[in-house]
């Protein structure tokens, strides 16, 4: 249910709040143009300006010039929000921006925008659908080239198109059922039950494909969490440091030095790897270290991948190995034997052999990390991919309802049941693109945007 569009005019700083070369203030709504004319002095009045033109002039308060600015005009419906919009480029001082915003609010029917309100308006005015609006936030927050491309494709409508296609197929099938219900007295079968099951299964396969893409999509959007664990002194911090090529983590030969979990990020081929150097799993009597161990366990519970580090002279601690499995049954564990520059008397079963000191084996380890990030299916960011947990949950809902429909069919239950299963599946798909999205979900999505977007 689309909410009523508010007819008021909003204003916000669109650039980061700090000193820069320029600041951009953005207005949207029916009073945008009159509000700027109230404070702007230039060659022409903005109300006489054509859409998509830029005008030089002064913002004036009580005959005093606050700043000389450029005003860009976008007339409805050809703007980001599909409303009348104005952008003011000022010198990049937060004070100037603040003064101009206050001046415009005090002189016109304008209020400060809420977070994400410009994009929300673009959505409510049907410029973009909900999945595209969410892609705007992803685009801004992308930190690697791959996540950027993924968000770009979603903004271009790749996922929306696919979901819409599925919805149309669903509607095609369900219209037969509805027709039958209309002619219930006559007991006509408009479509053979077998054909119906076949068509539903076709749709299910496509939904399944999208669901499968999520494991990759999640990696594209959020990166992959990697916990580095092992006994004290096996070289966890040294490995992290090597990977970062800088000395962020404290390296020391006193066991238990890393008392907190350190988080760092690296990007390999456009995929974000979030590395957690854990404090070690060792139980200690010392209070600070106990806290560190607690945090390590939390990290292990929530990670996507574990690098289980062993020292070449000691191997891998059985105790830690067991504990890892206990904490996280499903996680993939890579055994990494460190300090291969030292002579070893024993052999161990490991996945990788490295030396954080010499860098030996690091290339292979990085390759391994990359492979484990991409292991799930042969997707590329060019496919329609589900990267968002909300979309994923909607697809699960659609799938469950369609599976129920298949069951209803096999049990020869009445068309009423079928129709209701179909409707529920349709609604779940429509929620992805925001056609039937409840207001609280919308608010939740847009409240996570920054002000001015
Ligand atoms: N010879 C050798 N020493 C290493 C290697 N990696 C780490 N060390 C040393 O092992 C000690 C413990 O390293 P650290 O990274 O603090 O271990 P952590 O407790 O697991 O974080 C330090 O003295 C490091 O210099 C390695 O590959 N070869
Ligand atoms: Mg350490």
Q: What is the pLDDT of residues 280-306, one digit of tens each?
A: 666 555 666 677 778 888 899 999 999
Calculate how far, in angstroms, residue 238's C-alpha sits from the geometric centre of ligand 1: 6
CA of 278 to the centre of ligand 2 (A): 7
- Cis peptide bond upstream of 77, omega within 30: yes
Q: Which of 233, 240, 342, 358 to mutate to test the pocket of ligand 1 (most atoms within 8 A of CB)?
A: 233
Which residues neighbour 288 within 8 Å (Cβ) at sequence distance 6 or greater? 259
Mean pLDDT score, 320-333: 91
Find out whether the beta carbon of 401 lies less than 6 Å from any atom of ligand 1: no
Q: Please give the model's pTM, rounded to 2 decimal places.
A: 0.81
C-alpha–C-alpha distance, residues 201 and 50, integer Å: 53
pLDDT class for 342, splitting at 50, 70, 90?
very high
Tens of pLDDT, residue by residue over 362-390, are 999 998 888 887 765 566 666 889 999 99
User: Would you place residue 1 in the very low, low, confident or very high pLDDT band (cuts 50, 70, 90)?
Assistant: very low
CB of 248 closer than 6 angstroms to any ligand 1 atom? no
Question: According to the model, what pLDDT value does residue 420 have?
Answer: 92
* Minimum mean pLDDT range among 49-63, 253-267, 310-324: 253-267
Does ligand 1 come within 6 angstroms of the Cβ of 238? yes
Element (H, E) at 338: strand 332-338
Per the model's pLDDT, the better-predicted residue between 10 and 6 turns out to be 10
pLDDT band at 413 (very low <50, low <70, confident <90, very high): confident
Q: Can you tell me whether residue 357 is helix, strand or coil?
A: coil
Nearest ligand 1 atom, CA 231: 20
**Adjacency order of strands within the sheet including 64-74:** 40-42, 53-61, 64-74, 85-91, 22-28, 9-13, 110-112
Cβ–ligand 1 contact at 282 (below 6 Å): no
State how far the Cα of 123 lies from the Cα of 49, in Å rounded to an integer. Answer: 26
Find the range with the poorest average confidence among 162-166, 259-263, 264-268, 350-354.
259-263
pLDDT at 284: 53
Report pLDDT digits (tens) over 121-153: 999 999 999 999 999 999 999 888 888 999 999
Give nearest CA residue, ligand 1 atom 9.
235
- What would the two tokens of residue 406 be? 């298949």
Mean pLDDT of 55-77: 97
Q: What is the pLDDT of residues 187-239, one digit of tens each?
A: 666 677 788 899 999 999 999 999 999 988 888 888 899 999 998 899 999 99
CA distances from 415 to 177, 178, 196 (A): 6, 8, 12
| Ranges assigned E (strand) in 173-322 | 224-230, 262-268, 271-277, 305-311
pLDDT of residue 289: 65
**Beta-carbon count within 10 A of 18 CB:** 10
What mean pLDDT is predicted for residues 90-108?
96
Tell me if 89 sits within 8 A of 26, measured CB to CB.
no
Helix axes 158-182, 145-155, angle to 10 degrees: 40
Higher pLDDT, 316 or 289: 316
Question: Is there a contact between 156 and 113 (Cβ–Cβ < 8 Å)?
Answer: no
Tally of CB atoms within 10 A around 342: 11
pLDDT of residue 283: 55
Give 254 Cα–ligand 1 centroid separation in angstroms: 10
Mean pLDDT of 352-364: 93
CA-CA distance, 296 to 262, in Å (whole number)? 10
Q: How far apart are alpha carbons 306 and 336 in whole angstroms?
A: 10
The pLDDT of residue 188: 67
Confidence of residue 357 (pLDDT cuts 50, 70, 90): very high
CB atoms within 10 A of CB 77: 13
Ligand 1, atom 19, lies closest to the CA of 233
Name the band, by pLDDT with cuts 50, 70 and 90, for residue 279: confident
Q: Name the more confident of 47 and 414.
A: 47
Regarding the beta carbon of 259 and ligand 1, being less than 6 Å apart is answered no
Give me the pLDDT at residue 247, please.
Answer: 43
CB 348 within 8 A of CB 315: yes
Interval between CA 285 and ligand 1 midpoint (Å) = 23
């Amino acid at each position: 249910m689309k909410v009523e569009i508010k007819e008021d005019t909003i204003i916000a700083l669109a650039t980061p709040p700090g000193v820069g070369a320029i600041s951009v203030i953005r207005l949207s709504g029916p009073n945008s143009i009159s509000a700027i004319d109230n404070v702007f002095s230039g060659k022409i009045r903005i109300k006489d300006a054509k859409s998509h033109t830029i005008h030089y002039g002064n913002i004036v308060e009580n005959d005093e010039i606050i700043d000389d600015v450029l005003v860009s005009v976008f007339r409805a419906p050809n703007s980001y929000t599909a409303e009348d919009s104005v952008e003011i480029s000022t010198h990049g001082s937060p004070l100037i921006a603040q003064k101009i915003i206050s001046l415009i609010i005090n002189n016109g029917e304008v209020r400060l925008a809420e977070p994400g309100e410009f994009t929300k308006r673009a959505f409510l005015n049907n410029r973009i659908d909900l999945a595209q609006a969410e892609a705007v936030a992803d685009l801004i927050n992308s930190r690697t080239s791959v996540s950027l491309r993924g968000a770009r494709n979603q903004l271009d409508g790749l996922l929306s198109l696919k979901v819409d296609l599925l919805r149309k197929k669903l509607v095609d099938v369900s219209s037969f059922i509805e027709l039958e219900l209309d002619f219930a007295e006559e007991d006509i079968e408009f479509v053979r039950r077998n054909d119906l099951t076949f068509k539903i299964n076709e749709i299910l396969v496509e939904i399944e494909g999208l669901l499968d893409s999520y494991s990759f999509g999640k990696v594209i959007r959020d990166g992959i969490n990697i916990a580095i664990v092992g006994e004290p002194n096996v070289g966890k911090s040294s490995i992290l440091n090597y990977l970062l090529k800088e000395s962020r983590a404290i390296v020391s030969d006193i066991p238990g030095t890393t008392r907190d979990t350190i988080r760092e990020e690296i990007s390999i081929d456009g995929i974000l790897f979030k590395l957690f150097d854990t404090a070690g799993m060792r139980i200690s009597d010392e209070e600070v270290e106990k806290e560190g161990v607690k945090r390590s366990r939390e990290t292990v519970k929530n990670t996507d991948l574990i690098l289980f580090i062993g020292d070449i002279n000691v191997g891998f601690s059985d105790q830690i190995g067991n504990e890892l499995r206990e904490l996280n049954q499903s996680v993939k564990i890579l055994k990494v034997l460190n300090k291969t520059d030292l002579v070893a008397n024993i052999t161990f079963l490991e996945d990788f052999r490295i030396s954080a000191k010499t860098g030996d084996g690091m290339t292979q380890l990085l390759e391994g990390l990359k492979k484990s990030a991409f292991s799930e299916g042969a997707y590329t960011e060019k496919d329609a991919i589900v990267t968002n947990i909300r979309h994923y949950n909607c697809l699960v809902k659609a799938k469950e309802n369609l599976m129920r429909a298949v069951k209803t069919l096999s049990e020869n239950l009445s068309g009423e049941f079928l129709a209701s299963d179909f409707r529920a599946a349709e609604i779940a798909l429509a929620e992805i693109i925001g056609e039937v999205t409840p207001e609280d979900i919308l608010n939740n999505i847009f409240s996570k945007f920054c002000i001015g977007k």
